[in-house]
Amino acid sequence: MDLRNSTILITGGTSGFGFEFATQLLALGSTVLITGRNQAKLDDTKRRLPSVHTFQSDVSDPAAIRQLYQQVTTQFPALNILINNAGEMRKLDLQDPALELHDITREVEINLSGPIRMVQQFLPHLKTKKTAAILNVTSGLAMTPFPLAPIYSGTKAGLRAYTKALRVQLQHTLVKVFELVAPAAKTPLADPFASVLNDSMLMDPNQVVAQAIRGLQQDRVEIYPGLSRLMRYMSRLAPGILLKQMSKGVTEAFAQSRVQA
């Protein structure tokens, strides 16, 4: 992919990987558009990256996606790359009786329904371009679940399956479909998991994104930075051992919160 002459829309561009993508793609010469829900965070990002274009939009809201499409394609008809990056990860005790039915699937709406709806809305536009791409940000947890974050793990496995299917369906079009299988990294998303993810397990988001950009430039459709590559092999060779490893600290974490409650 030629990223220099591309116009790229990144969902969730105000922090973590999204902010890094915006920073590194602007440095390459791309035109970069970002979204997020929080206007103050968008304004702060605009202050730090003056050439970025910001749009307040909640990826879990279909009406907001329709509105975003109108705004973006009117103002930036050259748009040719979509990066589905926005995501949320919660530590959830599935035995907690306080979990509400309407809230328990929140990550599904953001991490899985969001990218699916974004693709559905933007695909006809992307298909009009000579070169176009969709990059979906999944996770090492798409290959083995992290029981502390059960719904999140399900969304990433679902997004990975959807991404593979989408790639097959678009194989005779000019739209390339990429997957960034991101490893655990030092971003605000990982903060609530500090008790089980020590610093040495967390990759610098700057490096994850640098590898993702190289992958896009080299047309590598599945990109596995850092520990994701190891998780890929472990999930095939020794899935039971990997799940056991990912399950450490779960019983203790929830037993403690049940006692406190």
Ligand X SMILES: NC(=O)c1ccc[n+]([C@@H]2O[C@H](COP(=O)([O-])OP(=O)(O)OC[C@H]3O[C@@H](n4cnc5c(N)ncnc54)[C@H](OP(=O)(O)O)[C@@H]3O)[C@@H](O)[C@H]2O)c1
Helix ranges restricted to H, 127-238? 150-169, 205-217, 227-237
Binding flag, residue 185, ligand X (CB under 6 A)? yes
Q: Does 35 bind ligand X (CB under 6 A)?
A: yes
User: Does residue 87 bind ligand X (CB under 6 A)?
Assistant: yes
Contact between 50 and ligand X per CB under 6 A: no
Nearer to ligand X, 30 or 60 (CB): 60
Q: Which of 69, 152, 162, 224 is catalytic?
A: 152
Could you tell me if 64 and 95 are in contact, meaning their C-beta atoms sit under 8 angstroms apart?
Answer: no
Query: Within 13 Å of residue 4, how many CA atoms lie on the same side as its CB?
Result: 1
With contacts defined by CB under 6 A, name the span among 5-13, 24-32, 96-104, 169-177 that binds ligand X.
5-13
The only residue of 8, 12, 146, 163 in contact with ligand X, by rule CB under 6 A: 12
User: Which residue, judged by CB position, is nearest to ligand X in the bound state?
Assistant: 16
d(CA 81, CA 33): 10
Minimum distance from residue 5 beta carbon to ligand X (Å): 25
**Are 178 and 130 a contacting pair, CB within 8 Å?**
no
Residue placing its CB nearer to ligand X in the complex, 182 or 234: 182
Give yes or no for residue 59 binding ligand X (CB under 6 A): yes
Is residue 182 within the footprint of ligand X (CB under 6 A)?
A: yes
Pick from 1, 86, 157, 242: which binds ligand X (CB under 6 A)?
86
85 binds ligand X (CB under 6 A): yes
Count of Cβ atoms closer than 10 Å to residue 91 Cβ: 17
List the one residue from 8, 31, 36, 69 that touches ligand X (CB under 6 A): 36
CB 81 within 8 A of CB 51: no
- Amino acid (1-letter code) at residue 167: R
Residues 99-128, interacting with ligand X (CB under 6 A): 110-111
Rounded CA-CA distance 6/69 in Å is 17
- Segment near ligand X (CB under 6 A), from 70-78, 87-95, 162-170, 242-250? 87-95
Q: Do residues 245 and 146 touch, judged by C-beta distance below 8 A? A: no
Q: Which stretch binds ligand X (CB under 6 A): 13-21, 124-132, 171-179, 250-258?
A: 13-21
Sign of the dihedral through C-alpha 23, 24, 29, 35: negative
Dihedral, CA of residue 176, residue 181, residue 185 and residue 187, to nearest 10: 50
Sign of the CA dihedral with 211 first, then 212, 215, and 216 last: negative
Q: Does 222 bind ligand X (CB under 6 A)?
A: no
Strands (E), 100-204: 132-139, 175-182
Catalytic site includes residue 69? no
Q: Catalytic amino acids? A: 152
Can you give the binding site for ligand X, defined by CB under 6 A?
Answer: 11-18, 35-38, 41, 58-60, 85-89, 110-111, 137, 139, 182, 184-185, 187-190
